[in-house]
Structure 1
Amino acid sequence: MLLPFQNLPGRFEGEEPASVCLKSSGFFFKFLSANETGATGSHQAGFYIHRDAYWLFMPEPGKKGENQYRDVAIHWPEGTVTDSRFRWYGKGTRSEYRLTQGFHFLGEENTGDLLVLARLEESVFQGFLLSREESIESFLQELGLNPSDSGKAYGIQNGEIQLPGLQYSAEDQFESTLQDALREYLEPDAPFPAADRLARLAREQCEIYFRTGSLNLDEKLLRWIDMEYRIFRWLELRKYSHYLSQGFSTMEDMIQLSLTILNRRKSRAGYGLELHLAALFESAGVTFASQARTEGNKKPDFLFPSQDAYSNPDFPASRLTFLGVKTTCKDRWRQILSEADRIPEKHLFTLQQGISSAQLREMAEADVQLVIPRPYHRLFPESFRKQLMSLEGFVDYVRSKDSQEMLFR
């Protein structure tokens, strides 16, 4: 059932979610986990809110040994208002923030939906619940965000998103490093660096700040994605900030630049993810082909071990592996089913955080094996978690086939 404030893509009454967020004093978004929608049988109270996001709801952080709360009003499209409560649980063994009350409308089918809250004024928020993949991707792309940013709160200053600080290093060192690395691109008329340049720089910076060599593949990928977003927004602000103060000569100039920025944001997340995955596979010593050609001139994201192996009818199909890549996959996962006829089981990597049981059953029936970063497994219905594959597990799976392929040679 479509709730009065649960809108179809492009059909919002009033402003779109991204526009509301940019006009607010700060916003928060998160994918709803199976625990939060009751898909695990859990009856936990409300939504878990990360500690770093407290400032959006409370003036001061909660104190150990105390329970605190603040009432908030959430306005939804089409006029619905819910009275909710932001709570700090600090007594006993608990130490967490939750947003409770007023969400009785949620059900298991809302697992994986995107909750967006934009602060209009003190304790007053505009809320959106995005269920369709088009709505979710539009929101993320227009703001240049990633699914991996779920659970974070962002401040807005002069219509610009303020990035959360780096955890383990000084901001001035980060600034200095990027100034040196991207100096040639900072001039207003200089081209924006290619996606592979930004992706490579993100991996280099992660090694400096986080020593990612000691992380497993799942954690490493998420670090890379987060760093690439930071670098992208850092460069975007410095290349285009002068337009905010100087303005445009014509309306056409403003529209053209806006479209350029928006289209770049739309293409960045998906392509950057593929580049990072390719770098991980290379570092793991796994052979693969990206954007290879299959039947009907289809172009799978990744084929293992190679294009030649897939095209060779004598090469056993059981030793081939397909991997599709989608930042979110609530609706569009079916697109991969026809991309490699020789490989009946389709692996699909996604950053989607939570999917309903009904959709997971449908994927399993279509022989789709989800590959999900390990930290996100807990956000899925418990009965399906053992069926999920981590990125580390997928690489081990491909390696085992590589060993068989060596014997075939």
Structure 2
Amino acid sequence: MAFLEQNSDQWTLIEALVARSGKLLLKKLSRNDASWADEGGGHQYGFYVPRAVRESGFFPELHAREDIPHICEADCPSFWPQTGEIRSDSGIKYFSNKRSECHFTRIPAELFAGLSPASWLLGGTLVEPEGPAHHWFMVIDSAAGEAELLESRLDIQVNFHFGLFEPSDFKQASSIEADEAAGLIDEIDAALRNGSIEALVAKYSKLPSPDVLASEARAAFLKSNRVKEFDPWAIKKPGDALMRVSRDIEFSIYRRYELRMRAIEVAKVLAEHDRVAIAAVRGFPSMDSIFLSASQQRKSRAGKSFETHLAAMLTTGGVKFEAQAILGQRRPDFVLPDQATVALDKSRRYEDAAILSAKTTLRERWKQITHERFNCAIFLATVDDRVSREALADLQKAEITLVVPESLKMKNNESFYYHDTNVISFREFFDEELARKRPALLLAV
């Protein structure tokens, strides 16, 4: 199709489709949404349609079949731009005798095969149809760069599963409140008028230190959840707390500071030229450098955030540990209780020590964890819901236990953790692995 040929870049394709849409649907794909494609499922298989979406008007109205009244159906021809095909026979099927079981069926299996956990389905209603199709859909693998862009554009939080959006939402989500944004705009305008833009750049040239950002994020979490301390024994779901603080709250705070800093830098570049066209061309190298620096700074911050909050939780919970202790050729994030006990005490028992590493996302980096045996358990903590079955199998072979937030270990979550006995929740880590099996690693109360 001409439309597909003109939009070979996937992100360009997404933006073009959003511009043609009246309403958008974003859904994080569960295993059941995609496993049928890996198992050779037929054309009747498809993705699950949540009740709230089914009743929202996004899809055509359902009608009961005369021969089987408990089955309600609606035809919904669909456009799949990644394959360039229109499925004129696709539609939704709802079984009213099975609670809320409803699926969108007769769709391209190849798009759903081999997906990473927690991948995305993005779709929309077309203002102008593509042939008979008034709906379009794309599948975005969670390991692809477009997934990160999508999550950033819609400001997706860690507890998100599905939602409907307006095309106007599909822009860089504002990280500051309207009145704060207005104040920043006024401050930049004033600096440009009176020639003090250099002073303003200097004023906001540095972001708060990682420790300051982390403390501010934990304080916000404690206030909103009405708890006094970041204590794993007092917080019902400590893993979910770690995930929320490191991936949502701190990032939101960081983006407020980042927007202020980068907006002023860009304003300075633009102000150096008297025409927009000149600024766009001659100022491009400077702006490119600004945005490259912003991207690198984000990645650097994200890598340390989770580790910082986990250290704070261990400290508040009275867990004995030494951070970044050298063991052989490696430097794990946390050695419990200390380097001397783990590496030098030859008389201790297996349960008298443990190694705990922290990775915000796993990818292949978990293999950096030591494979040397120190007569103790090795735990790997993460808030990543995208770990593949293959990686989980490799972790088990390496005798490394994965520790994840409580919500990611639940049965209906999009991750692959529920049935894996080598994956435990943070609640289980603190209660079972520390309090019950290794009480010597806790400070006496």
- The aligned counterpart of 1:321 is 354
Letter in 1 for 2:332: P
Superposed counterparts of 1:158-307, under 5 Å: 160-162=171-173, 188-189=201-202, 190=204, 191-212=206-227, 215-224=236-245, 225-241=247-263, 248=270, 249=272, 250-296=283-329, 298-307=330-339
Residue 348 (str. 1) matches residue 380 (str. 2): yes
Deviation at 1:83, TM superposition (A): 6.9
Q: In structure 1, give the amino acid aligned to 2:47.
A: G
Q: 1:108 to 1:404 in 2, by over 3 A?
A: farther
What is the one-letter code of the residue matched to 1:393?
A: E
Q: Which amino acid aligns with 1:309?
A: T
Counterpart of 1:34, as a letter, is R
Given residue 292 of structure 1, which amino acid in structure 2 is its aligned partner?
A
Over 3 Å counting, the alpha-carbon distance change for 1:359 and 1:32 in structure 2 is: farther
Per-residue Cα deviation, 1:343-395 (whole angstroms, up to 9, x for no partner): 56432222232555444333222212111111112235587244421011112
Equivalent position of 2:161 in the other structure: 151
Equivalenced residue count is 373
| Counterpart residue type for residue 226 of structure 2 | R
Contact 1:145 1:229 survives alignment (8 Å): no
The 5-angstrom pairing of residues 31-180 of structure 1 reads 32-38=29-35, 46-47=47-48, 58=58, 72-76=78-82, 79=84, 94=99, 100-105=105-110, 109-110=114-115, 112=117, 114-115=119-120, 117=122, 122=127, 125=136, 127-130=138-141, 133=143, 135=145, 139=149, 148=158, 151=161, 160-162=171-173
* Residues 357, 380 of structure 2: 8 Å contact kept: yes
Shift of 1:253: 1.3
User: How far is the alpha carbon of 1:31 from its aligned partner?
Assistant: 5.2
User: C-alpha separation between the residues in 2 aligned to 1:97 and 1:313?
Assistant: 59
Q: Which moved more, 1:364-373 or 1:214-223?
A: 214-223
5+ residue gaps, structure 1: 1-12, 166-170, 180-186
Distance 2:61 2:298 in 1: 34
> The residue matched to 1:287 in structure 2 has which SS?
coil
Is this contact kept in 1: 2:214–2:308, CA < 8 A? yes
Letter in 2 for 1:395: F
Does the aligned pair in 1 maintain the 2:58–2:125 contact within 8 Å? Answer: no
Match of 2:402 among 352, 370, 386: 370
The offset of 1:196, in angstroms, is: 2.1
Q: Is the 8 A contact 1:33 1:354 kept in 2?
A: no
Q: Which runs of 5+ in 2 are unaligned?
A: 1-6, 63-71, 128-133, 185-199, 229-234, 273-282
Instruction: Please list the CA deviations of residues 234-277 of structure 1 after superposition, one character each: whole Å capped at 9, or x if unmatched.
Output: 33334434567776352221011111111122123221111121
What SS class does the counterpart of residue 221 from structure 2 fall into?
Answer: helix
Counterpart of 2:369 in 1: which secondary structure?
Answer: helix
Amino acid in structure 2 at the alignment position of 1:235: Y
Gap change, CA 1:31 and 1:160, over 3 Å in 2: closer
Q: Which residue is equivalent to 1:7?
A: none
Distance 1:54 1:290 in 2: 51
**Conserved 8 A contact 1:286-1:399:** no
1:270-324 deviation line (CA, Å, top 9, x unaligned): 211111211221222112223222212x221222122332342436362221222
- Specify the SS of the correspondent of 2:172: strand
Shift, 1:231, TM fit: 2.0
| Structure of higher CA gyration radius | 2
Contact 1:24 1:119 in 2 (8 A): yes
TM-score normalized with structure 1 length? 0.69
Contact persistence 2:120–2:147 (CA under 8 A): no
Question: Cα distance, 1:70 vs. partner?
Answer: 6.0
- The Cα shift of 1:137 comes to 8.1
Query: Among 344, 349, 352, which residue is 1:312 paired with?
Result: 344
Q: Percent identity, aligned pairs only?
A: 20
Moved more, 238-247 or 279-288: 238-247
| C-alpha separation in 2, matches of 1:22 and 1:293 | 51
Structure having greater relative contact order (Cα 8 Å, sep ≥ 6)? 1
How has the CA–CA distance of structure 1 residues 156 and 267 changed in structure 2, closer, same or farther, with 3 Å as cutoff? farther
Which of these residues, 391, 404, 409, is aligned with residue 440 of structure 2?
Answer: 404
Distance 1:80 1:261, change over 3 A: farther
Q: In structure 1, what is the equivalent of residue 188 of structure 2? A: none
Alignment correspondent of 1:183:
none
1:391 aligns with 426
Could you say if the C-alpha distance between residues 242 and 251 of structure 1 is closer, same or farther in structure 2, counting changes exceeding 3 Å? same
Assess, with a 3 A threshold, how the Cα gap between structure 1 residues 18 and 44 changes in structure 2: closer, same or farther. same
